[in-house]
Amino acid sequence: MSQKEKSFNIKLYAVAAFVAVAVFLAVVCTVTFKAKYTAFHPDKLAEVFVENIAQSGDGYNAYKNTLVSKNMKYGDFIRKYYIEPNAVGEDGTVLSDEALKSKKTLEDDGTLAGQLIERMYPVYKELIDTNGWDNYDLIFSEYIKELKLAREEIFGDRFFNDEVFFSAFEANVSSYSDFLTGTEDVFDENTGLQLSEKTVGKYEEVYGEDYSFTAKITSEKPVDMNEYIKDFSEKLPGEYGVSPEDISEVKKYAVDVFLYEGFSVAAVEVTVVKIGYSWYVDNVSTDTKVLYSFYH
């Protein structure tokens, strides 16, 4: 034993331990990152993009994986191109000025905000049912127009900022998902008070209680890179901050939404592009309308 201890090189052990752990950590981090972060895998990105929309009807959050969000946080994109232009009245009044807040706004404990959300939900649902989410410009523009009117009526002021928009809009996105998927009974953890009752979603009505959607790539379509870039250059909105030269690779997948193996309920073609190390869904070339209507 003592011979063994004498031969133990503590400095060598320290270096070996550091190197071994560094390699282990690098491998674990890489594997975890690859497994969870879809933007490194075009096929996975396409499947997750379709599956998320099909499962919850949430096309709003699906844009977080598209070219819209390439150079800017999605929320900032909405702020810059839809909220800020709408936060100035036709008469030049800055609508986000706190001084515009009415007494009702200042004293609201959430009741009026709740009324606004309820009032806006049919507007949101109508927009999605009619258009899907591909024309986000129409969705945001129309929704904000109605929101400003509804808010003025309920709160009695013209105040409008990003918080007003996001709190109402995101609540509506969530309600729309609930409409499709249904909800469970919700109780307050501390008081035990029932906050909301269980509802049966549209999907359950149509496909039964144990329905489950899975998106899978059924084939990869050939893409002519030159033609794609040409077409892309013409259609690409300038506000994305993406130039055709940034794109190093393009793939197009046929993705089906399966209720169970072999039974497809919807099919879409998803185009994904590689910029830098990450892949993004080309929302300009991808038609998702069927994902908002397949259950009808």
Partner 1 sequence: MSGEKKTKYMKRSEIITFGIGLFGIALLTGWMPDYTATFFADFAFKGKGFDPDFMSNMISMVFLAAGIIGAVCELVIGYLVDNTRTKFGKVKPWVGFGAVPLAVISMLVFVSPDTDNQTVAVIWMFAIYSLYTMVCCAVESPANCFGALCSPDPAERSSAISIASFLRSVGQSGGMVVILVVGLIMKAVMGQQQFKNAEGQGLDLVIATGICALGIILFVMIFFVNNRERVPFTQEKVSLKDAVKVVFTNKNLLMVSLTKLCGFGRGVYGTVSLYIAIYLLGSKDLKLGLLLPMGIGTAVGTLLVNFVLKRFSTKQTFILFSLYGASSLSILFFVSRGIGFNDGLIIPFLILNFFCGLQHGNTNVTPNIMIADCVDEIEYKTGKRQEGLAYAGYGLFSKIASAFTKALGPWLLYTWSGYLVSTDANVAYAAQTDATLNKLLMIYTIIPAIFVVLQAVPMFFYDMVGDKKDTIVKTLIERRAAAADKNS
Q: By the criterion CB under 8 A, which residues form the site for partner 1?
A: 2, 5-6, 8, 10-11, 13-15, 17-18, 20-22, 24-26, 28-29, 32-33, 35-39, 64-65, 69-74, 76, 109-111, 113-114, 117, 167, 171, 188-191, 193, 195-196, 278
Provide the minimum distance between the beta carbon of 6 and partner 1 in the complex, in angstroms, as a whole number.
8
Among the listed residues 69, 50, 21, 97, the one whose alpha carbon sits nearest the alpha carbon of residue 286: 50
Provide the minimum distance between the beta carbon of 294 and partner 1 in the complex, in angstroms, as a whole number.
21
92-115: string of b/e by CB count within 10 Å (b at 16+)?
eeebbeeebbeeebeebeeebbee
Provide the minimum distance between the beta carbon of 92 and partner 1 in the complex, in angstroms, as a whole number.
30
Q: Which is nearer to partner 1, 40 or 294 (CB)?
A: 40
Q: Which is nearer to partner 1, 65 or 286 (CB)?
A: 65
Residue 242 CA, chain-centre distance (Å), reads 19
Provide the minimum distance between the beta carbon of 255 and partner 1 in the complex, in angstroms, as a whole number.
18
Beta partners for residue 9, in sequence order: none
Provide the minimum distance between the beta carbon of 222 and partner 1 in the complex, in angstroms, as a whole number.
28
The C-alpha atoms of residue 96 and residue 94 are separated, in whole angstroms, by: 6
Q: Which is nearer to partner 1, 28 or 88 (CB)?
A: 28
Q: Which is nearer to partner 1, 8 or 263 (CB)?
A: 8
Which tokens hold the place of 166?
Answer: 């996001």
Residue 201 vs residues 176, 183, 209: alpha-carbon distances, Å: 10, 7, 9
Provide the minimum distance between the beta carbon of 70 and partner 1 in the complex, in angstroms, as a whole number.
7
Provide the minimum distance between the beta carbon of 56 and partner 1 in the complex, in angstroms, as a whole number.
10
247 neighbors 268 (Cβ within 8 angstroms): no
Q: Which is nearer to partner 1, 109 or 245 (CB)?
A: 109
Q: Which is nearer to partner 1, 263 or 277 (CB)?
A: 277
Which tokens hold the place of 54?
Answer: 């099909």
Q: Which is nearer to partner 1, 26 or 94 (CB)?
A: 26
Among the listed residues 132, 226, 125, the one whose alpha carbon sits nearest the alpha carbon of residue 178: 125
Phi, psi of 255 (to 5 degrees): -120, 130
DSSP 99: G
Residue 19 makes CB contacts below 8 A (sequence gap 6+) with none
Provide the minimum distance between the beta carbon of 90 and partner 1 in the complex, in angstroms, as a whole number.
30
Q: At 153, which amino acid appears?
A: E
Which tokens hold the place of 133?
Answer: 């989410």
Residue 126 makes CB contacts below 8 A (sequence gap 6+) with none
Q: Which is nearer to partner 1, 24 or 230 (CB)?
A: 24
